[in-house]
Amino acid sequence: MSEIKKLTDKLKNGKNNISVKKDTVKKPVVKEVNNLFFNELRTELNERNYNNKATTYLDVEISEALSFFKTRGKIPIGSLVSYILEDWIKKHQEEIKSLSANKYI
């Protein structure tokens, strides 16, 4: 099992359910994470002003983890993905530049 799957399973099975009447379904309690890391990340993402107009396909496990960041950390998924990929591209500029421009190679 991947580390991300373990994390999402742990978050799903945590103590985040409330007791309700027997004839209704248990609904998760969504607690907003209020810590410095998520507050600073949220601020930085808002300052970057990503337009989030393109579709990106993600692995289900990654998508589940991002959903937790969205609901509990109030972190916009599209902006977080853009932020992570922008950082990765900046770190790997030399490798990317070495890719062939010829699509048939």
Span 14-42, pLDDT tens digits: 644 444 444 556 655 656 666 899 899 99
Q: Is 88 helix (H, G, I), strand (E, B) or coil?
A: helix
Domain map (residue ranges) of the chain: 3-97
- Reading the block at residue 10, the tokens are 């742990």
Q: Contact 81/75 with Cβ under 8 angstroms?
A: no
pLDDT tens profile 41-52: 999 999 998 998
Q: What is the pTM assigned to this prediction?
A: 0.66
Question: What pLDDT was estimated at residue 18?
Answer: 40
Q: Pick 96 or 24 by higher pLDDT.
A: 96
Give, as one character, the DSSP assignment of residue 98.
T
